Structure formats: structure tokens, C-alpha cells
Amino acid sequence: MIKILFTSITFLLATPIFAQTPEEKINKLGFELFEPAKPIANYVKAVRTGNLVFLAGHGPGKADGTNIKGRLGEDLTIEQGYEAAQISAIAMLSSLKAEIGDLSKVKRIIKVTGMVNSTADFYDQPKVINGCSDLLVKIFGEKGKHARAAVGMVSLPNNIAVEIEMIVEVEE
């Protein structure tokens, strides 16, 4: 009887009955996906080839159309840059969902390239782009761990704080 009870409890604990979808995790973390805005130039927000999706650079654009603007080391703190990177991640995930229909189809976040609008003497770009990387791991767990580059830029379009692009492997 004890062995059967132990086996039953072990099975229940190992079974992801209460597993959350990526979208549920996003909402639980206090974020919300939104309908992506149309590109501002002659490009698309996502290109799928086979089981890879290449996401164009996304800035910290919110659903209401506003952006986090400014330069790290001059106008913004590392914490504000971290938040901008999180919002950029949500913007990319919104475009990814529009492309593939369901974020549960994500097999792996492969690569993140983060560009930080920063002064010449600002050296903490990785701490800023951690906002994106940390959020992706919270949402996707081990599947969210990725290769990454975090670099400084003398300026970014419309003075946005960060611009991030991503490559994602999805189910075919």
C-alpha cells in the first residue's frame, strides 16, 4: 500500500498537470503580448525558413505605441535599460506569436543580439541586455537559454534605448 501511494505521488509530482503555457507565464510575470505594429520601413518583423524564425530588430515599443528612449550612461540607468530590454523581448515575442500562432511551438531560443544606445564610456551593455535574456529563461526555462551578443551603439533609430533581434527554433 505504501509503495503504491509513493508511486502515485511520484507520478503526480512528475506529471506537468499544472504546466503553464508561455503566454500564461508572460501574464503571470506582469507582461502582456500585443498586436505588433506594422514595420516602419521596407522589411518584415519575422521571416520563417524551415524550423527557424528570424526576428527583425525590435525596440522597447509598448502596445500604446510609446518607446523607452535615451542613452545609457547619460539619460538612463542600468535598471531602466534592463526594463527596456524586457519590453523589447515582449515586442519580439508578440511578433513571434503573430508568425507561428502559439508560443508553445518554441523549441529553443537560439541567438539574441542586443544593441544598446550608450555613451562611449558606458561598459555595462551585458547588464542591460540581461533584461531580455532573464525574461526569456523565466518564460521558456532551459529552452530559453541562448547564445548572445550585447554591444553598444553611438545611436539607435528614434533614440530608442535598445534594439534586439532574435533567432528561434520552432516546431515545423
Q: How many angstroms separate the CA atoms of 18 and 117, rounded?
A: 40
**Residue matched to cell numbers 544606445:** 117
d(CA 57, CA 33): 17
Q: Is 79 left (phi over 0), alpha (psi -120 to 50) or beta?
A: alpha
29: left (phi over 0), alpha (psi -120 to 50) or beta: alpha
Look up the pTM and report it.
0.88
Average pLDDT estimate for 39-59? 96
Over the stretch 57-102, which tens digit does the pLDDT of each residue have?
999 998 888 999 999 999 999 999 999 999 999 999 999 999 999 9
Task: Write down the pLDDT at residue 64.
Answer: 87
Does residue 11 surpass a pLDDT of 80? no
Characterize the bridge pairing of strands 106-117 and 52-58: unpaired
Who's near 73: CB < 8 A, 6+ residues apart? 118, 119, 121, 122
**Segment 110-150, tens digit of pLDDT:** 999 999 999 999 999 999 999 999 999 999 999 999 999 99
CA gyration radius, the chain: 18
Residue 1's pLDDT band, with cuts at 50, 70 and 90, is low
Least confident of 2-11, 84-93, 98-107: 2-11
Q: Which amino acid is at 115?
A: M
pLDDT interval class at 16 (50, 70, 90): low
